[in-house]
Amino acid sequence: MRLLEDRIRRDGVIKAGDILKVDSFLNHQIDVAFVSRLGEEFHRLYRGCGVNKILTIEASGIGIACLTAQFFGCPVVFAKKAKTKNISSDVWSAEAVSYTHGGTSTVIVSKEFLSDKDRLLIIDDFLANGAAITALASIAEQAGAAVVGAGIVIEKAYQPGGAMLRARGMRIESLARIKSMDEKDGFTFCD
Amino acid sequence: MRLLEDRIRRDGVIKAGDILKVDSFLNHQIDVAFVSRLGEEFHRLYRGCGVNKILTIEASGIGIACLTAQFFGCPVVFAKKAKTKNISSDVWSAEAVSYTHGGTSTVIVSKEFLSDKDRLLIIDDFLANGAAITALASIAEQAGAAVVGAGIVIEKAYQPGGAMLRARGMRIESLARIKSMDEKDGFTFCD
């Protein structure tokens, strides 16, 4: 999506350690009008797929998911990061390894909000090693819900997550796919 | 707001320990169409106040803030809960005592996203003891930003936060003000 690639080139900041900061418009400050256009694009890609619910993960996914859900006319469910090791039997849970913060976290969704009647679109801001999407897909599977696909704002295509998930048969639509990025030379996007 | 009071009566679940669960429509599953109507009401209350940015706090505030921001045509900034004790000099920070989880957390906002040119509307899902709103107001003050007021979805009016903040001169608009709630007798709202 050209609009997004241009925005990343303009406002994205590359930091040492393969960090891309897009917090001026996506995940700290949110340019709501702009993100709504991303949501419209997710709807164009997934309309007609019977999506009845959007599944995302706190915190960065929530705004994108809500602005996308308006086009589908459906609710959002956001997975929470568990604050304790004691996981209640009322929730579905899965492990996710955070790429940015390191360490493993347990993500949970109350059982009452997902069922085998659901056709889910998974939304997230980044796809790198695929841990968050894998955890959300695991939760969907436990609930018996169908996953129509995932809508990702920015995929680091040089990281293994996208290829791994596609090889498993999951439809992944990433609005910008970064082929490489470098503090000196900037961004190259996949064609 | 009658629409919200009715929804709380229908779907809110009162638990021991003064817990009100509204996670079927507000802060785990999000009824996006419904929350958008809350956002429209915040806009009705605060339009003409020169709001140019909405300030909220992760995670539950983000969806409400984004859906509200669409009516104002402005961006959202969400404060983050610091993951480490080492607070960078690039952020404004303040302490907040969580009512639901207990314990103190440090909330932070990057300095680049708030300035003395901003006129902020603070948005959050709950107001009880006022800790989150106080922390956000402190961050706004550090940045030199004006706080036009706060828009709260549900105020526990029998808790001290609302009165304390109003006594300090902050405009607080709560869409539902719970006078009392009880597992047996249900909800009473302020007139």
Q: What is the pLDDT of residues B115-168, one digit of tens each?
A: 999 999 999 999 999 999 999 999 999 999 999 999 999 999 999 999 999 999
Structure tokens at B41: 């009401």
Residue A80 has pLDDT above 90, yes or no: yes
Contact between A68 and B69 under an 8 Å Cβ cutoff? The reply is no
Fold for the domain defined by A2-189: Rossmann fold (3.40.50)
Partners of residue B77 in chain A, C-beta under 8 Å: 28-30
Contact between A49 and A151 under an 8 Å Cβ cutoff? The reply is no
Contact between B145 and B119 under an 8 Å Cβ cutoff? The reply is yes
CA–CA separation, B139 vs B79, rounded Å? 9
Which chain B residue has its CA at the smallest distance from A84's CA?
B101
The helix (run of H) or strand (run of E) holding residue B175 is strand B172-182
Question: pTM above the 0.95 mark?
Answer: yes
Residues of chain A above pLDDT 70, percent: 97
| Nearest-neighbour CA in chain A from B110: distance (Å) | 8
- Domain residue spans of chain B: 2-179
Between residues B30 and B103, the one the model is more confident about:
B30
Q: Which tens digits make up the pLDDT trace of A89-126? A: 999 999 997 666 678 899 999 999 999 999 999 999 99
CA–CA separation, A145 vs B161, rounded Å? 41
- Put simply, whether A62 touches B (Cβ < 8 Å) is yes
Residue A26 has pLDDT above 80, yes or no: yes
Structure tokens at B92: 């404004």
Please name the member of B29, B69, B74 whose beta carbon is closest to the beta carbon of A75: B29
Phi, psi of A2, rounded to the nearest 5 degrees: -60, -45
Please name the member of A63, A65, A112 whose beta carbon is closest to the beta carbon of B76: A63
Structure tokens at B168: 């300090």
Which pLDDT belongs to residue B191?
Answer: 85
* Best of A15, A32, A34, A86 to mutate (most B CBs within 10 Å, chain B): A32
Residue A129 has pLDDT above 80, yes or no: yes
Residue A29 has pLDDT above 80, yes or no: yes
Instruction: Please count the residue pairs, one from chain A and one from chain B, whose beta carbons lie less than 8 angstroms apart.
Output: 100
Phi, psi of A143, rounded to the nearest 5 degrees: -80, -10
Please name the member of A62, A69, A77 whose beta carbon is closest to the beta carbon of B62: A62
Amino acid at the residue B70: Q
For A81, other C-beta atoms within 10 Å of its C-beta total 14
Fold for the domain defined by B2-179: Rossmann fold (3.40.50)
Which pLDDT belongs to residue B100?
Answer: 61
Residue B102 has pLDDT above 80, yes or no: no
Phi, psi of B189, rounded to the nearest 5 degrees: -105, 150
Please name the member of B66, B73, B101 whose beta carbon is closest to the beta carbon of A66: B66
- Put simply, whether A82 touches B (Cβ < 8 Å) is no
> So what's the ipTM on this one?
0.96
Structure tokens at B148: 């036009």
Tokens 């997975």 map to which residue? A79
Amino acid at the residue B138: S
Which pLDDT belongs to residue A83?
Answer: 81
Partners of residue B67 in chain A, C-beta under 8 Å: 66-67, 70
What torsion, rounded to 10 degrees, do the Cα atoms A61, A67, A71, A73 define? 80
The torsion region of residue A71 among left (phi > 0), alpha (psi -120 to 50) and beta comes to alpha
CA–CA separation, A56 vs A76, rounded Å? 7
